[in-house]
Structure 1
C-alpha cells in the first residue's frame, strides 16, 4: 500500500519531543531517565498508528513501552493516540529498527513485539523480514536473559518462516496459536491491521519465542 506523503509530519514530530524521543542513541543504557523509573521495557518494532502499544500501556502501567516506527507519515497518528490517552509509560522512536543496538544496551529490554510486520514474500528479500537471523541476533543482544519475542501476523507464510527461523536460532517457542481469535488466549490487544484483517475473515497467527543459553 502506497503511503500518502505528509509534508508536515517532521514538524509535528519535532513539536512532540515529549512523546517522540529525539536522538535516541543518546539514551542508550539510560532509558530509566526518560521514563523516570526502573520498570521493565517492552518495545514494538513497527508500531504503526499506535493502537497496540497504547492499549498495552493502559493495561500495564508498571511497564514502559517504546514504539518504533520509521515512517514519518504513520508515526504522526501514533503521536495523536499517545497524546489523547495521556499515557506516561509510552514513548515513540522515529528510527529504523536495523539500528536497534545503537539505541539499547545489553539486557536493557525485556520483550520485543512484532505485529503484522511486512512479510517480504519474495525469497530474495528474506533478509528484510523482522524474524530473519540478523534481526534475532540484534534482539538477543538487547533483551534480558530469557527475553521474549512475541509475534502476530495474518500471513501464514511469514508465520511458518518465523517458526522455522526461531527454531533454527535455538529459541524456545511457546503459546502457538494458529487461530488466535478462536483460541483460549486471554488479554489480546488488537492492532489496527488485526482488526481489519480479522473483519475480512483472515486467521490471526501468534507465538512467543524465548532466547536461551545467554
Structure 2
C-alpha cells in the first residue's frame, strides 16, 4: 500500500511536544519522570496510525504506553487521536525503531508490542524482520528481566519464522494462537490492519514470549 505523503506532518508533530516527545535520548532511563509516575512502561514498535496503542492506553490507565513510528505521515494520525481525547499515560516517538537503545535504558520497558510488522519475505531481507535475533537482542537490552514481547500478524510465514526465532533465542513461549479471532482470548484490541484483514476472513496469529533470566 502506497504511503500518502503529508508534507505538513513533521511541523504538526513539533507543535505538540506534550504528546510527541522531542529529543527522547535525553529521557533515557528517566521515563517515569516524563510520565510523572512509577507505572510500568509498554512500547509498540511500528505503531502506525495508533489505533492499538491508543486503545491499550485507554483500557489500562495504570500502565504507561509509548507508540513508536518512524513515518511522520503515519504517526500524525495517532497524534490526532490524542489531540481529540488526551490520555496522560500515552506518548509518541517519531523515531527509527532500530535504534531503541539510544532512547531506553535497561529496565525502562516491561513489554514490547510488535503488530503486523513488515514480513520481509525474501531470504536476503531476513535481518530486517523485527523478530530476527539482532532485534531480539535489542529488545532484551531495554526490557526488565523476564520482560515480554507480544506479537500479532496475519502472515503465516512470518509467524512460523518468528516462533523459531524466539525459540532459538531462548525465549519462553507463554501463549500461542493460530486463529486469534476464533479463540477464547479476551479483551483483544485490534490494529487498523487487523480490522481490515480479519474482515476478509484472514486468520490472525498471536503469541506472547518472555525473556528468561540468565
TM range (shorter): over 0.9
Q: What CA deviation, in whole Å up to 9, does each residue of 1:151-172 have, x standing for no partner?
A: 0000000000000000000000
Query: Would you say the 8 A contact 1:50–1:82 is kept in 2?
Result: no
Alignment of 1:31-110 (within 5 A): 31-110=31-110
Task: Please state whether the residue corresponding to 1:112 is helix, strand or coil.
Answer: strand
RMSD of aligned Cα (Å): 0.7
Which ranges of structure 2 fall in alignment gaps of 5 or more residues?
none
Q: Give 1:174 deviation, angstroms.
A: 1.5
CA distance in 2, matches of 1:65, 1:74: 18
Q: Which runs of 4+ in 1 moved over 6 A?
A: none
Aligned counterpart, 1:191: 191
Query: Would you say the 8 A contact 1:39–1:63 is kept in 2?
Result: yes
Question: Could you state the TM-score of these two structures normalised by the residue count of structure 2?
Answer: 0.99
Aligned counterpart, 2:137: 137
Q: What CA deviation, in whole Å up to 9, does each residue of 1:78-117 have, x standing for no partner?
A: 0001222211100000000110001000011000000000
Question: Could you state the TM-score of these two structures normalised by the residue count of structure 1?
Answer: 0.99
CA distance in 1, matches of 2:106, 2:206: 26
Alignment of 1:156-195 (within 5 A): 156-195=156-195
CA distance in 2, matches of 1:82, 1:18: 10
Query: Would you say the 8 A contact 1:65–1:91 is kept in 2?
Result: yes
Q: Give 1:175 deviation, angstroms.
A: 1.3
CA distance in 2, matches of 1:68, 1:184: 29
